[in-house]
Chains A and B, each alone.
Chain A
Amino acid sequence: MPISNYIIFCLALFTIGIVGVLVRRNAIIVFMCIELMLNAVNLLLVAFSKMHNGVAYLTDKSTIVGADAQVFVFFIMVVAAAEVSVGLAIIVMMYRNTKSIDINFLNRLKN
Chain B
Amino acid sequence: MWTYDKKLQYPVNIKQTNPRLAMAIASQLGGPDGELGASLRYLSQRYSAPYDEVRAILTDIGSEELGHMEMISAIMYQLTKNMTAEDVKKYGFEPYYVDHTAGIYPSSAAGVPFTAAYIQSKGDVITDLHEDLAAEQKARTTYDNLLRIIDDPDVKDPIRFLREREVVHYQRFGEAEQSIWNT
User: Does B associate with A?
Assistant: no
A contacts, CB < 8 Å to B = none
